[in-house]
Structures are given as structure tokens and as C-alpha cells.
Amino acid sequence: MLFRRRKENKMAEENKNKPEDDKKEDDKKEEAEDKTVQVQKNEKEVNKEEKKKEDNTAQQLSFLKADLEKSKAESESWKNKYYEAYADLANTRKYLEKDHETMVKYRSQGFVEKMLPALDSFEMAFMVEPTDPKIKNYCSGFKMILNQMTQALTDEGITTITPKIGDKFDVSKMHAIQTVDGDEDDLVASIYVKGYMLKDRLIRPAMVVVTKKKAEENKDTQTEEVKKDESKKDEKAA
């Protein structure tokens, strides 16, 4: 500070001794220098402001990019959830439609199963032909009732499984309740009760008696083997 004051005082003394024109030129130079210094200061301040603005802009762009990436990720997540929900709904709809079709298709199954004992009783009752004319008339009426019931069941898609004697045993539609000796294996020997199907579904298999081939040949073979064993024992004993 002291040096500056001395310099200013010295310049003031020098100015006193200078002519007026020189003083004016010096003043102009000082003004020009002051303006230059002021312009430089202003430029620095402007540069600082611009740099600050650029930094703020870059920071804002960084935030915006981060928000954009976050929004894209959320959008993709919601899109996947939508597709999953849509697929689940479509599968559920298909399952319900199929279940409804199956229910409609086989709606009479429970009723038919309850009717089977009555139908079996009718069938068994008609196996014996009555000799009394009055009973014959009653039987004719009951046969008409049975035919009406059978027709009603046929209209609902019921078909009967009626194997014949000598048919090959079909495990998918028949159930063997007994076996008897026969010339061949797995032939129908007699029918106990009919089987029933509702469209393509088995309600009850036909109850049948099947044949089983006689075991005479096996017995003969076993007898021969026993004889051979006995002869060997006799030879050893001798």
C-alpha cells in the first residue's frame, strides 16, 4: 500500500510537471488500459458463467439419460408382465372352454351310472321267458318301457357293449369275472352284464366269463419228467 501511494504521488508530481497534452494522452492510455483490464475481467466472468452453464447442462443431460434408461427398463418390465398376464389369461380361457366342452359332452354320465342297476335288472328279468299269458302281457309292457329308456339313452350318446360268445377278450371294453376251461385262451364264454359307453368314454365294461386253455399237455409233460426221475433213482439204487 505504501509503495502504491508513493507511486501515485510520484505520478501526480510528474503530471504536474508535464504539459496539458501529455497529461491528456496519459489519461487516455490509462483509460484504455482500464478498459482492457475490465474487458478481460468481463471475458473471464463470461467464460466462468458459460462453463458453469455447460456443466449444469451436462449434469442435466446425465440425469435425463439416467431417467430415460430407468423409464425404458420399467416400460420393458411392464410390457413383459402384460404379455405374461395375457398368455396366462389365454391359457385359462382355453382350459375353461375345454373343461366346459367336456362337461357338456359328458353331462349325463352321473345319471347313466345311476340308471345301470335298473337296466341290469330289466335285462336279467327278461332272460327267463314266462309261460303264463298274463305275465307275458306284463313283460311286453315292461319291454316297451325298457326300449323307451334305451332309446332315450341312445339319444344322449350312450352305446352298449354286447360281446358275443367266442369273441376275443378285449381288455379295454371287457372285464373278466371268471375263467373256464376251453380250447383257446381269452375267448368270451358267456356274458354276465352288458357294458356301456358315453360317446368315447367307457362308463362300465362288459362283465364276461373267459376261457383258459386246458392244461392236459402240461400234465403229461410233468408226468413224463416224474417217471424219468424215478427211473434215474432206481438205476442209482441198483
Structural domains of the chain ordered from first start: 109-215 (2.30.22.10)
pLDDT at 144: 92
Alpha-carbon span 133 to 45, nearest angstrom: 132
**DSSP-based three-state secondary structure for 105:** helix
- From residue 225, alpha-carbon distances to 114, 133, 217 in Å are 56, 63, 13
CA R_g for the chain = 57
pLDDT score, position 14: 58
CA dihedral 69, 74, 79, 80 (to 10 degrees): 100
pLDDT (0 to 100) of residue 51:
75
Mean pLDDT, contiguous 10-residue spans, the chain (238 residues): 56 55 61 68 72 78 86 89 92 93 90 91 86 86 91 92 94 94 91 93 95 67 60 58
**Confidence at residue 227, expressed as pLDDT on a 0 to 100 scale:** 60
- Give pTM, 2 decimals: 0.57
Task: Output the pLDDT for position 130.
Answer: 84
In this prediction, residue 17 carries a pLDDT of: 52
Q: How far apart are CA 184 and CA 236, in angstroms?
A: 42
Tell me, what's the pLDDT at 209?
95
**What b/e string do you get for 152-167 counting C-beta neighbours within 10 Å, with b at 16 or more?**
ebeeebbeebebeeeb
Chain centroid to CA 163: 41
Is-contact 169 210, C-beta < 8 A? yes
